[in-house]
């Protein structure tokens, strides 16, 4: 067997030995953790940590076995917002949603969700433009989103108006790796120039 094959085999064995300690770390994190940080904590190279993370993510995609039966897993490991974190499985989003809605956790209002959607798809965008799109004043709602860490100022427009965009926390909460993961709206919207004209008439 050549040296490259031996290295590959030893790397796989080493990566598999990291699965349990990786799980232990991932169970206590409250945000996506970069592979480099996990590698440092485990005392291994970044490449080996990446390999172990992908092995673990693959393992979670396989149904669990219990007393001779298989069942779907309720969680999965995702690479999101530049890091790795364990999330509940999308297939159980409905039941998780019922739990969250019925709990005491702070939730965003419908107005905040709509405003956040406008910012996510039209960023960088000013408050006045958001107000035109939504048809209502959004100053208080934008302040709430900034306070929650989901939105931040990203610059100024030609008129000096503050422009807003989403944050890394937004990506984390949505389970996105980047804004490219947003569902495309093009099939449901008029062309960009037509949309601009519509906004100017509001």
DSSP string, 24-51: HHHTT-SS-B-HHHHHHHHTS-HHHHHH
Is residue 1 a part of any domain in this protein? no
Strand partners, 70: 65
pLDDT single digits (tens) 111-151: 888 899 999 999 999 998 898 888 888 988 999 899 888 99
Is residue 22 a part of any domain in this protein? yes
Is residue 3 a part of any domain in this protein? no
Same domain, 80 and 143: no
Same domain, 30 and 95: yes
CATH number at residue 137: 1.10.10.10
Please give the radius of gyration of the chain, using alpha carbons only, rounded to the nearest integer.
22
Same domain, 83 and 145: no
Mark which of 72, 99, 126 sits at the end of a domain: 99
Number of domains in the chain: 2
pLDDT single digits (tens) 59-111: 999 888 877 888 889 999 999 888 999 988 888 888 876 776 555 445 778 88
Q: 0.75 exceeded by the pTM?
A: no
At residue 11 the predicted structure's pLDDT band, cuts being 50, 70 and 90, is low
At residue 53 the predicted structure's pLDDT band, cuts being 50, 70 and 90, is very high
Same domain, 94 and 127: no
The 3-state DSSP composition of the chain as helix, strand, coil percent (nearest 5) reads 55, 15, 30
Domain extent at residue 188: 110-201
């Amino acid at each position: 067997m050549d040296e490259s094959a031996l290295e590959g085999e030893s790397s796989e064995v080493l990566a598999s030995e990291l699965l349990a300690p990786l799980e232990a770390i991932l169970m206590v994190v409250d945000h996506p953790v970069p592979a480099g940080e996990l590698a440092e904590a485990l005392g291994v190279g970044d490449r080996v940590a990446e390999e172990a993370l992908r092995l673990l993510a693959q393992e979670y995609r396989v149904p669990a076995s219990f007393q001779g039966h298989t069942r779907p897993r309720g969680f999965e490991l995702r690479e999101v917002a530049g890091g790795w974190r364990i999330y509940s499985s999308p297939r159980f989003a409905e039941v998780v949603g019922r739990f969250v809605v019925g709990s005491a956790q702070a939730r965003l209002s419908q107005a905040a969700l709509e405003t956040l959607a406008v910012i996510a798809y039209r960023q960088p965008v000013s408050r006045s433009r958001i107000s035109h799109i939504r048809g209502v004043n959004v100053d208080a709602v934008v302040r709430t989103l900034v306070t929650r860490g989901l939105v931040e100022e990203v610059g100024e427009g030609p008129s000096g108006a503050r422009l807003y965009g989403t944050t890394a926390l937004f990506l984390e909460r949505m389970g996105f790796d980047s804004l490219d993961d947003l569902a495309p709206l093009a099939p449901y919207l008029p062309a960009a120039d037509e949309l601009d004209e519509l906004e100017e008439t509001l």
